[in-house]
């Protein structure tokens, strides 16, 4: 086992911290001006109340029952590690021998650890590949619709996940930032691979100091910090496409479009223009038309258009906008609008997605890739879009469309989950719970008895990121750092140790471990990092020196190109990887799919649930379920920072004063939020920072459904995903559509149920 130095470094998704020997307080590393408070929850002793202390098996499952009807309801029996691994290995062997490896779903999500080795998603996929493979998921909840759409328009994921215009370029050159969805600092406090410095606030502040104006178009005013003096343009949720169409129509009407750019760098604009002018459907997408949908004054739309055309303009859009019905359309329309302005490829102009969605977007980085744990080859070719897990479990063999293909859902008999919490990420959790009963076996790795662990058959407790050694480095940061173990748990195993034990039982130990210990893998991965940084002109110390030291931040690269600068300079030499080699404002390929919910060019497609729909007569409030400020997704919801944010132990819902007055609600009242899919309890927080008719509630409260005194099923803790819709964004991408959600709110005057999800489930001591 590695010997850790007296001054230790801990790298997390929400920042990099140091800890002196004998101290208990994690301190952000020098140079990070906006450190996240979530670190306080990591060392909070109260979190261990929900700790999984020993391997456990659902009691009836241990007796041989393979139906899932008792999941989440019955007791667990603790068993020794050897017995737990024997049972898990036997289940894996039984399912692959009886049904084939395609009947195993390897569920995971990438937020379990910021480290390169103890990355649960990589560990589980490597292990399952060693035993023959598994049905996998593709895309993410964060950007699922955009991940499929943007490559059709641009040829790859530039501007979405890669190659963003950097903040220094924006600070020097941009004169007008138009933000769709604001730039929430709560989102930008995290990054998947570790953080050396939180950059969003200071970058926007520097741009403002250089004369850049900022406009936030959002239903939520404080989705950008007030000290940045941004203007706020409130908009009806999920109507951003209509606003952009109104701007585009005004550009044409006032001859402000860049016709030369459109002709040279794009294809299909004539088809889009016919739609824009109303030649295809009889409806001109004018400022007046957009105003009737967005409730933004038509003259204000025209004035905004002139401002955008008259200045170096950067269109920024948060990732959240694609998590709604027809979520592909805002991204396609933003690219189209930027093309009409003709500033794509100019310093500080064009577009970019995700600047306020995660830290590191816009950080200047070097071109090499940091190493990661090799996952091997998957012997199963089948997959599902990640947000379609309930559909898969409920409808094995059923057909579905995805990106031009007609596919069928596999028949899953075993779900193996390590990393992530589907009972947080997914929508319509009551539907997921019904689907979760279908597999014969569910195996879960976790540290705490959250909702997913409580609904497993075999629960294998794993140590947390502060209880293991690792190396952190990120494609969105110039950081490489040791991440030292600062806490030891008796008999604690990491995911790697668990999989090594299973691999031995299934005869694939050599393939999985390659005879390396954890230290051996860390030295191996660091060696790869040294090779790549040396090739890029940087010198890293030897491993032992690195391990005894602190975080290393590589210098900022000299060259900071603007997004698509090379394409603008020479569209022939640097043609895009689209069929035309250009920006596809109209895509013949997508049009050829003949999807009624995703035509061949950007289009306003009315959602089923929005404030302009008939459903709003029954459920007149639009729910925005945003990312939390006090935890990462559902991680450390049991920690002190998250717990302190919940009046009366419930996740608060922000509500406009006028909406509360109409319902005779006061600040701090406990309320029932409901629609036809479910109901949850919350506490009212009154505000004037959101648009009337809109309510805002953070995701991540651990799912805790109970029956109240009237026998109604209510999620008592404040998890909004009992309310959100579990439908695909479109047949193209099948992404998550959580933000298309209408609700009603009423005072809850029954006896208040206790939140129980932070306590231990019923545990039977094994013999």
Query: Helix (H, G, I), strand (E, B), or coil: what is residue 525?
Result: helix
Residue at 766 is within a domain: no
Tell me: do 531 and 546 sit in the same domain.
Answer: yes
Are residue 305 and residue 441 in the same domain, yes or no?
A: no
Residue 752: burial class (beta carbons within 10 Å; 0-12, 13-18, 19+): middle
**Of the candidates 177, 246, 169, the residue with the CA atom closest to the CA atom of residue 217:** 177
Lowest mean pLDDT among 266-270, 421-425, 555-559: 555-559
Q: What is the mean pLDDT of residues 622-637?
A: 96
Count Cβ neighbours within 10 Å for each residue of 44-56 and write b for 16 or more, e otherwise.
eeebeebebebbb
Give the pLDDT of residue 765. 81
Do 326 and 301 sit in the same domain of this protein? yes
**Residue (of 597, 612, 606, 744) closest to 236 by Cα position:** 612
Of the residues 17, 109, 275, 409, which is catalytic? 109
Please check whether residues 328 and 422 belong to one and the same domain. Answer: no
State the Cα torsion 691-295-149-374 to the nearest 10°. Answer: -10
- DSSP code, position 161: T
Percentage of the residues of the chain whose pLDDT score is greater than 70: 100
Average pLDDT (258-262) is 98
Rounded to 5°, the CA angle 320-389-138 comes to: 65
pLDDT, tens only, 5-40: 989 999 999 999 998 877 778 999 988 889 999 999
461: in domain: yes
* 308 and 418 belong to one structural domain: no
Same domain, 431 and 534: yes
Q: Same domain for 84 and 108?
A: yes
Query: At residue 433, does pLDDT exceed 60?
Result: yes
Q: Determine whether 14 is an active site residue.
A: no
Least confident of 17-26, 326-335, 461-470: 17-26
- The residues pairing with 124 across neighbouring beta strands, listed in sequence order, are none
Residue 544: burial class (beta carbons within 10 Å; 0-12, 13-18, 19+): exposed
Shared domain for 589 and 658, answered yes or no, is no
Contact assessment for residue 441 and residue 57, using Cβ atoms and an 8 Å cutoff: no
Instruction: Let me know if 111 is a catalytic residue.
Output: yes
H/E element, 57: strand 56-58
The Cα–Cα gap between 95 and 735 comes to 29
Clarify whether residues 515 and 625 are in a common domain.
no
Among candidates 523, 580, 457, 369, which has minimal Cα distance to 94? 457
User: Which tens digit of pLDDT belongs to each residue from 89-115?
Assistant: 999 999 999 999 999 999 888 788 889
Residue with tokens 């931040």: 553
Return all residues near 282 (Cβ < 8 A) that are at least 6 apart: none
What pLDDT is stored for residue 586 in this prediction?
Answer: 98
d(CA 134, CA 114): 24
Pairing of strands 552-553, 479-483: antiparallel
What single string gives the DSSP state of each residue in 10-76? EEETTEEEEE-TT----EEPTT-TT--TTHHHHT-GGGGGGB--S-EEEHHHHTT----TTTTTS-E
Nearest to 690 by CA among 729, 660, 710: 660
pLDDT score recorded for residue 6: 87
Q: Which of 17, 105, 111, 526 is catalytic?
A: 111
Cβ neighbour number for residue 85 with a 10 Å cutoff: 22
Measured CA to CA, the distance from residue 380 to residue 378 in angstroms comes to: 5
Question: Which CATH number goes with the domain that contains 345?
Answer: 3.40.228.10
Q: Which two tokens stand for residue 418?
A: 């390590």
Count CA atoms closer than 13 A to 151's CA, side-chain side.
Answer: 13
In a domain, 498, yes or no: yes
195 neighbors 15 (Cβ within 8 angstroms): yes
Supply the Cα-derived Rg of the chain in whole angstroms: 26
Q: Which among 532, 530, 498, 497 has a CA at the least distance from the CA of 516?
A: 497
- Averaged pLDDT for residues 160-180: 96
Residues 344 and 406 in one domain: no
Among residues 329, 139, 108, 105, which one has the least CA distance to residue 736?
Answer: 139
Tell me the DSSP string of 184-234: -TTGGG--TT--S---HHHHHHHHHHTT-EEEEESSBGGGS-GGG--EEE-
Angstrom CA distances, 33 to 15, 44, 202, 287, stand at 11, 23, 8, 42
The answer on 154 and 106 residing in a single domain is no
Percent of the chain with pLDDT over 90: 91
Residue 764 belongs to some domain of the structure? no
Read out DSSP for 285-300? --HHHHHHHH---HHH
Q: Is the pLDDT of residue 174 over 80?
A: yes
> Is 754 among the domain residues?
no
C-alpha to C-alpha distance for 441 and 535, rounded to whole angstroms: 47
Same domain, 549 and 432: yes
Instruction: Tally the domains of the chain.
Output: 3
pLDDT above 90 (res 153): yes
Label residue 263 by pLDDT band (50, 70, 90): very high
DSSP-derived letter for residue 158 is: B
User: Taking the mean position of all CA atoms in its chain, how far away is CA 655?
Assistant: 24
Do 627 and 187 contact (CB within 8 A), yes or no? yes
HSE-CB at 21 with a 13 A cutoff on CA atoms is 4
Please tell me which residue, 194 or 540, carries the higher pLDDT value: 540
- For 719-728, write each residue's pLDDT tens digit: 999 999 999 9
| Model pTM above 0.75 | yes
Q: How much is the pLDDT for 108?
A: 86
User: How many residues are there in the chain?
Assistant: 767
Classify residue 14: in a domain, yes or no. no
Average pLDDT over residues 582-591: 98
pLDDT at 767: 57
The domain that holds 484 is classified in CATH as 3.40.50.740
Q: Which two tokens stand for residue 308?
A: 């955008």
Name the average pLDDT for the chain: 96
Counting Cα atoms < 13 Å in the Cβ hemisphere of 106 gives: 30
Range of the domain at 682: 614-747
- Is 32 a domain residue? no
Over residues 571-595, the mean pLDDT reads 98
d(CA 682, CA 448): 23
Average pLDDT over residues 669-678: 98
Domain assignment of residue 559, yes or no? no
Cα 129 from Cα 123, distance rounded (Å): 10
């Amino acid at each position: 086992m590695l010997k850790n130095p007296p001054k230790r470094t801990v790298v997390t998704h929400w920042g990099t911290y140091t800890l002196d020997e004998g101290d208990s307080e994690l301190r952000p590393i020098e140079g990070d001006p906006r450190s996240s408070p979530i670190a306080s929850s990591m060392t909070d002793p109260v979190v261990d109340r929900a700790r999984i202390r020993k391997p456990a098996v659902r009691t009836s499952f241990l007796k041989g029952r393979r139906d899932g009807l008792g999941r989440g309801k019955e007791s667990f029996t603790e068993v020794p590690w050897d017995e737990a691994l024997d049972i898990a290995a036997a289940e894996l062997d039984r399912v692959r021998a009886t049904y084939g490896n395609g009947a195993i779903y390897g569920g995971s999500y990438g937020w379990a650890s910021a480290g390169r080795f103890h990355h649960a998603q990589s560990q589980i996929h490597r292990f399952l590949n060693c035993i023959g493979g598994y049905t996998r998921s593709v895309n993410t909840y964060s950007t699922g619709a955009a991940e499929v759409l943007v490559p059709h328009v641009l040829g790859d994921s530039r501007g979405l996940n890669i190659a963003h215009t950097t903040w220094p370029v924006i600070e020097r050159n941009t004169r007008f930032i138009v933000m769709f969805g604001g730039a929430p600092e709560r989102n930008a406090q995290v990054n998947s691979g570790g953080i050396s410095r939180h950059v969003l606030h200071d970058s926007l502040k520097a741009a403002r100091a250089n004369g850049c104006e900022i406009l936030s178009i959002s239903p939520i005013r404080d989705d950008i910090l007030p000290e940045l003096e941004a203007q706020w343009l409130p908009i009806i949720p999920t109507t951003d496409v209509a606003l952009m169409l109104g701007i585009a129509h005004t550009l044409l009407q006032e001859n402000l479009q860049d016709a030369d750019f459109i002709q040279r760098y794009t294809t299909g604009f004539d088809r889009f223009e016919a739609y824009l002018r109303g030649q295809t459907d009889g409806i001109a997408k004018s400022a007046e038309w957009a105003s009737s949908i967005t409730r933004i004054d038509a003259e204000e739309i025209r004035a905004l258009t002139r401002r955008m055309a008259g200045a170096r303009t950067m269109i920024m859009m948060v990732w959240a906008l694609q998590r709604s019905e027809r979520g592909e359309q805002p991204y396609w329309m933003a690219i189209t609008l930027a093309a009409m302005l003709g500033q794509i490829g100019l310093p500080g102009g064009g577009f970019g997605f995700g600047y306020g969605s995660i830290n590191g977007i816009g950080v200047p980085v070097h071109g090499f890739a940091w190493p990661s744990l090799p996952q091997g080859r998957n012997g199963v070719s089948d997959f599902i879009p990640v947000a379609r897990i309930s559909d898969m479990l409920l409808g094995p063999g059923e057909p579905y469309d995805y990106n031009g293909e007609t596919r069928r859902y596999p028949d899953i008999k075993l779900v193996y989950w390590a990393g992530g919490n589907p009972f947080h990420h997914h929508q319509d959790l009551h539907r997921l719970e019904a689907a979760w009963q279908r597999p014969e076996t569910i195996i879960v790795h976790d540290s705490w008895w959250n909702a997913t662990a409580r609904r497993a058959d075999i629960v294998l407790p794993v140590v947390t990121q502060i209880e293991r050694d690792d190396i952190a480095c990120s494609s969105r940061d110039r950081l490489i750092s040791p991440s030292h173990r600062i806490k030891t748990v008796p008999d604690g195993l990491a995911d790697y140790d668990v999989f090594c034990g299973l691999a031995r039982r299934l005869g694939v130990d050599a393939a999985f471990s390659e005879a390396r210990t954890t230290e051996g893998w860390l030295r191996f991965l660091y060696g790869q990092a040294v090779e790549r940084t040396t090739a890029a002109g940087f010198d890293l110390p030897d491993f032992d020196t690195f391990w005894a030291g602190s975080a290393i931040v590589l210098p900022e690269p000299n060259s900071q190109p603007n997004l698509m600068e090379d394409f603008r300079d020479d569209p022939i030499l640097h043609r895009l990887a689209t069929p035309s080699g250009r920006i596809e404002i109209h895509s013949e390929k997508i049009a050829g799919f003949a999807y009624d919910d995703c035509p061949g060019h950007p289009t306003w497609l009315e959602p089923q649930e929005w404030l302009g729909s008939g459903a709003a007569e029954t459920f007149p409030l639009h729910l925005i379920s945003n990312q939390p400020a006090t935890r990462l997704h559902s991680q450390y919801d049991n920690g002190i920072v998250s717990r302190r944010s919940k009046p009366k132990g419930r996740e608060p819902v922000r509500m406009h004063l006028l909406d509360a007055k109409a319902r005779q609600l006061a600040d701090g009242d406990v309320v029932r939020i409901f629609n036809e899919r479910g109901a949850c309890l919350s506490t009212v927080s009154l505000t004037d920072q959101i648009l009337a008719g809109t309510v805002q509630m953070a995701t991540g409260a651990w799912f805790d459904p109970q029956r109240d005194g009237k026998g109604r099923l209510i999620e008592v803790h404040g998890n909004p995903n009992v309310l959100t819709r579990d439908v695909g964004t479109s047949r193209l991408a099948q992404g998550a559509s959580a933000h298309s959600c209408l609700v009603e709110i009423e005072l809850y005057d029954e006896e208040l149920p206790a939140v129980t999800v932070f306590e231990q489930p019923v545990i039977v001591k094994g013999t």
